[in-house]
Amino acid sequence: MNRLVLLTGLISIALLGCNISKSALAPTPFISPTSPPSASPEPTLISTATPARVTLLVKTKLINCRFGPGTVYQLLNELREGQSLRAVGRNEASTWWYIQDPGNPGSFCWVSADVTEPQSATAPLTIIPPPFVTVTNINLRVEPNRIVVNCYQFPQTVFFEAEITTNGPTLFMWRWEASTGVSSDDGTLIFEEAGTHVINEYYQINAPNEYWIKLHVLKPNEMIAQVKFPVSCTQ
C-alpha cells in the first residue's frame, strides 16, 4: 500500500516537472511595432493656362526687330507697315514687345511699342528679361603672316589685330596667349551697344619657328580665336 502511494506521488511529481519544463521553454512571442502609414505625396500641380498672346500691327513704313529691348541691341529683321505680328512677352516698362519673328520661324525678336499698334490688352503678356549679350564673331589676323629674314636679323616684330563683334552692350574681357608660353595681362573694353571694336597687340620673335597666337575671350562668353605664322631665316 505504501509502495503504491509512493509510486503515485512520484508520477505526480514527474508530470508536474514536465509541465514546468514546457512552460519555461515556450518562446515569448515578439510583436513588431506597426509603423503609421506614410502620408500620401502632394500631387504636383501643372499649370494648363495658355500664355497670353497679343496681335500687333506695324504702323510705320519700316520697323526694326532687335535682339533685345532697345536700339543698343543687334538688328535681326525689318518689318513693314501693316504687317501682323504675334507678341508673346514684353519688357517691364511695356515699351518693347517680344514677338515671334515672322522671317525666322521658331525665333523671336523685340519691336518697339512706339511703332506698333496692339489689338488687345498687353498687360497679361509675360515680362521677359533682357537677353544675355555675347561675342558673336572674332576676326583675327597677324601682320606679317609669314616672316623670312637673314638669321642675324632677329628680333622681329609681329602685330596682331582682332575685330570683335557683340550683339548688345556688354563688358568685354580678353587675354593674348602665345605658343612660347607668354600671355598678356587681362584687357577690358566696354561695348555701349551692339557692333564691332578693334583690339591689337604686338610681339617680338627671337628665332625661327612655327608660332601661333591666341585671343582668349574671358567675358561675356568664353571663346578662343587662333592664328598661325611661320618664321624662318637664311644664312
**pLDDT grade, residue 235 (50/70/90)?**
confident
CA dist 72 and 168 (Å) reads: 6
Q: How large a percentage of the chain has pLDDT more than 90?
A: 76
Instruction: Report pTM.
Output: 0.76
**Does 209 score more than 80 pLDDT?**
yes
CA dist 93 and 111 (Å) reads: 13
CA dist 1 and 206 (Å) reads: 134
Q: Where are the domains of the chain?
A: 54-127, 135-234
Residues 205/157, Cβ–Cβ less than 8 Å: yes
Q: What value does the mean pLDDT take over residues 203-219?
A: 96
**Domain over 135-234 is classified CATH 2.60.40.10:** yes
CA dist 209 and 220 (Å) reads: 33
CA dist 129 and 126 (Å) reads: 10
CATH number assigned to the domain with residue range 54-127, chosen from the 4 options 3.40.50.300, 3.90.600.10, 2.60.260.20, 2.30.30.40? 2.30.30.40
Task: Please tell me the predicted confidence (pLDDT) of residue 49.
Answer: 54
